[in-house]
Amino acid sequence: MTTWMRSGPFVEGEWVRLSDAKGRKHNIRLEAGREFSTKKGQLRHDDIIGEPEGIIVTSTLEGQYQVFRPLLSEYVVSMPRGAAIIYPKDAAHIVTMADIYPGARVVEAGAGSGSLTAYLLRAVGPDGHLGSYEIREEFAETARRNVEQLVGTDHPEWTLTVGDVREVMAESEIDRLVLDMVDPWSCVPLAAERLVPGGIVCAYVATTTQLSRFVETLRAEGGFTEPHAWETMQRSWHLEGLAVRPDHKMVGHTAFLVTARRMAPGHPALEKTRRPAPGAYGPDYTGPRPAGTEL
């Protein structure tokens, strides 16, 4: 049973999340006989093992801590990193807007530190398959350790391959392709070749220049529906009596997300009916050009 499916009493070897009244948080792995040091003294692991979630434990200096299993969104932002992670707000949109469903055949290009991998594995379930490709071996090893800490070492629905997805991709037919890489436009031919009709390609890009080039490459290829692009910003609120207001800090821009669907063979996508804005494809534009916009 994976960590995110476990319920019942805490057992030795699993991770738990401690939080105090000031919101300070700690993740610890339970080991019989061990103690965890805090500013408020020692916490005995044996006081947690065998107990249900939602208990309060007291340290040797009377510090109190709530104990729960970490949510996936809490785990991914605190796990060891090689590459930068995809934050929960973006992972949630990828799973939803790319319509990752139980049983789906998914490929992700760029495993990074494994944060999105964990969400995708949860979404495809035991009947789906996720193929993760990472070009850098050290990043792949970090992703493997992080994901295996969550799901264990035996996960037949997941394969992790070190290599360039454009050269070593083993899957011949897939339902979804998720691209987290510097040049996702270079994978558009691969998406056209391997995605089934109706399949979705989704790119995670950090800059407007990447966004523009990927979108225009999809349009120029002709076998995908009009791309949809967006970004999300996450702002929490301060809640205390009548003092209800937005917090001063927020998770702002992290990346842009783009999705498009694969057309059936022999059926080119409908072209946009509106004319491009003046200057949209001016002399400084270096990407693919739609018909009628040549200089």
% of the chain exceeding 70 in pLDDT: 94
Token duo for residue 135: 């070009």
The pLDDT value given to residue 7:
81
Q: Is the pLDDT of residue 60 over 70?
A: yes
Closest listed residue to residue 133, CA positions, set 104, 155, 106, 164: 164
The pLDDT value given to residue 213:
96
Q: Give the chain's mean pLDDT.
A: 91
Q: Are 49 and 10 in contact (CB under 8 A)?
A: yes
Known binding residue 134? Answer is yes
Q: Is the pLDDT of residue 152 over 50?
A: yes
Q: Which domains does the chain have, with CATH numbers?
A: 3-70 (3.10.330.20), 74-261 (3.40.50.150)
Known binding residue 78? Answer is no
Q: Is the pLDDT of residue 107 over 70?
A: yes
Q: Are 251 and 87 in contact (CB under 8 A)?
A: yes
Q: Looking at per-residue confidence, does 41 or 152 come out higher?
A: 41
E strands present in 7-63: 15-19, 25-29, 35-38, 41-44, 55-58
266-287 per-position pLDDT tens digit: 999 988 776 677 677 777 776 7
Q: Where are the alpha helices (DSSP H) in the chain?
A: 72-78, 88-97, 115-124, 137-151, 165-168, 188-194, 208-221
Known binding residue 114? Answer is yes
Helix (H, G, I), strand (E, B) or coil at 273: coil
At position 117, the amino acid (one-letter code) is: T
At position 19, the amino acid (one-letter code) is: S
Q: Are 121 and 148 in contact (CB under 8 A)?
A: no
The pLDDT value given to residue 292:
62
- Out of 81-95, 97-111, 116-130, 225-239, which region has the weakest mean confidence (pLDDT)? 81-95
181-225 per-position pLDDT tens digit: 999 999 999 999 999 999 999 999 999 999 999 999 999 999 999
What φ, ψ does residue 212 adopt, rounded to 5°?
A: -60, -45
Known binding residue 47? Answer is no
* Mean pLDDT across 62-85: 88
pTM equals: 0.85
Q: Is the pLDDT of residue 1 over 50?
A: no
Interatomic CA distance for residues 207 and 287, integer angstroms: 15
Known binding residue 221? Answer is no
Helix (H) or strand (E) holding 95: helix 88-97
